[in-house]
Amino acid sequence: MKIALIKKSKNCIKIVKKNPWFTLVLGIMLLLLIVVILSSQPGITEDFDDRTSFICWEEKCLAKISLDSVNTVNAPTFHSVESCRLTCGKHGNLLPLPTIANLGKKLVQIDLSNMKLLAGGSPEVKAYLRSIFEIFRQNLKTECGGNAISPSNMSVYVVINVHDKEVKLDRHTNESYKLAVTQEPGRVYVTIYAETAFGARHALETLSQLTSRVNYDNSCSIYIISANIEDKPVFKHRGILIDTSRHFIPVRDLERTLGAMAANKLNVLHWHATDSHSFPLLLSKIPLLARLGAYSGNETYTESDIKHLVEYAKLRGIRILMEIDSPAHASNGWQFGNKAAMGNLVLCRNHHPWEEACMQPPCGQLNPANPNVYNVLGLIYKNLQELIPTDDMFHMGGDEVAYSCWEGSSEVKDYMLTKGYALNDSGFKALWAEFHNRALKAWDNAIGHSNTKIILWTSDLTDPNNIGTYLDKDRFIIEAWTSQTDPVPHRLLKMGYEVIYASVDAWYLDHGFNGGQSHSWKDVYDNRIPRVPKVLGGEAALWSEIVDSNNLDTRLWPRAAALAERLWSNPNSPPEDATYRLMETRNRLIRRGVQVSEILPEWCYLNEGRC
């Protein structure tokens, strides 16, 4: 049998050698056989196309590969889910929701090299507009992931007019804008009108959300839709607190955070720069604070770093609100007093066991009886004012004072007796209030006026039963880190105090990672604050006990984006209505280099409403 097969094989080889045409015919037959076999596998070539195709079905974007039972003949088809969502439904990929938005349905391809800016306004405003326009274009390039941008014959003209002649960002700045995108044969017109340059910046951020990308064969095509939008924020103060004392956060990470904040129209970086753990600000007027208080010489912020971050933030519509925490939460860095012939500036520094003298290790509390404390604070304030020119608000911390620390100092007790303060809770509260009023005077003297609003955290001192006796409602703003159901903020509002919300059970983003319950993006979104004149807005707080460069992004995002929509538009809709817009925001941030936590399985993301 084996011999017969060998003879047959040899005969076939002889036939092939003598008849080359037979070889060609045989090859063609084999090729046709392969094609028949492959085509007999259902959908094997169509699967690849379906995996990159999406349809808009009942105002939801669905992957074609998932639709076995839906007739999609008349449904629009798109080459990316991003493009599909841009035109499918009422609000496309917009987040935060605009006040009024009417979006078109037609996508046209644009080329960034054919995009021109026509800026109207004062010379200062025009310079700012040119800078933010370049940031806008660079963001679109970055979102293409390094791929070559496909050329297009469609020119884009961006016309921006700004009424205000100054570029000044403070708590009174008008951030409203009007944006229109119209399509004509061969060109797209974008017209933006805003009262201030910062409203125009927000309009450009919205414009970036009116674009989508299709990546194919190492090239990136950018599309845009027509739109008419009128928009303004509900709350003036929309912030994120970053703590750089417990862990040092490098400048590059703060830059990335500012960029992500800008993408979501958040406008305040509350920089909790100092605490008992470290003092990383290297200030020329009092450099000993950082030299003795920073973790290392490489873990400081120089004056040039601070100036750079202030300008970097301003170009992204964000102001930096510095916090120098006091009189508690002050320790390392302040120990130079005796050697400098200034007496004890700090008490209970690094006291052990810490439970005896503070709320959290390491201990430390400024010495309210030493007048040199206020002199040093004045130098800090003046230095910071030169670096951060906006002087309408400043944060002095002010919470978690431990009376036991002051009670252990004979210097403090002797001072209290000379002032007529009883050595009990009432007397220590009066001493605490005196500290803040003397610190306020040091601030006013340092900057040369008394118009600054000073922010303090809620505490025993700011309790409605006490605050009216100690703190002027025309000078002090209270940041409430109370729970959502706590009546204290409402009582403070009735007393005439302005309030910023930082709800501990919804907007403390560090919670849950070291015990306790974490707050999901839906918890953040669902926390609704009163829409009344004395409520300035709110902040998400990311304390850094267990946060550093390696997990900064994922702890912030996308939960801070949920906060952004709550504070910008304050919608009445449930979180579920924001899910897919938040997913597109997540993807946009990732394309811009931010590491963002996931909120949905990918299949659910590609098949809206089916999970």
Q: Which of 589, 582, 583, 576 minimizes the C-alpha distance to 602?
A: 583
Residue 191 DSSP one-character state: E
- Which of these is catalytic: 111, 124, 253, 400? 400
Give long-range contacts, CB 8 A cutoff, 24+ apart: 151-154.
Answer: 151/111, 151/113, 152/109, 152/110, 152/111, 152/114, 152/221, 152/222, 153/111, 153/114, 153/186, 154/108, 154/109, 154/110, 154/111, 154/114, 154/186, 154/187, 154/188
- Which of these is catalytic: 275, 391, 510, 539? 275
Query: Is-catalytic flag, 275?
Result: yes
**Residue indicated by tokens 């995009």:** 115
Query: Is-catalytic flag, 329?
Result: yes
For 94-155, give the secondary structure using H, E and C.
CCCCCCEEEECCCCEEECHHHEEEEEECCHHHHHHHHHHHHHHHHHHHHHCCCCEECCCCCE
Structure tokens at 88: 């499918």
**Residue indicated by tokens 């919470």:** 399
**Residue indicated by tokens 């011999």:** 3
Helix/strand/coil for 391: coil
Structure tokens at 131: 């800078």
Query: Which DSSP string corresponds to 164-182?
Result: -S----STT----EEEEEE
Q: Residue 77: in which H helix or E strand, if any?
A: strand 77-78
Q: How far apart are the first and last CA of the chain?
A: 62
Longest dimension (CA), the chain: 122
For the chain, helix (H) and strand (E) counts, in that order, are 20, 23
Query: Is-catalytic flag, 548?
Result: no
Query: Which DSSP string corresponds to 213-277?
Result: EEEETTEEEEEE--EEEEE--S-SEEEEEEE-SSS---HHHHHHHHHHHHHTT--EEEEEEE-SS
Structure tokens at 465: 């039963």
Give long-range contacts, CB 8 A cutoff, 24+ apart: 353-356.
Answer: 356/404
- Which of these is catalytic: 237, 329, 351, 511? 329
Query: Which DSSP string corresponds to 478-528?
Result: EEE-S-TT-SHHHHHHHTT-EEEE--TTTSBTTTTSSSS----HHHHHH--
Residues designated catalytic = 275, 329, 400
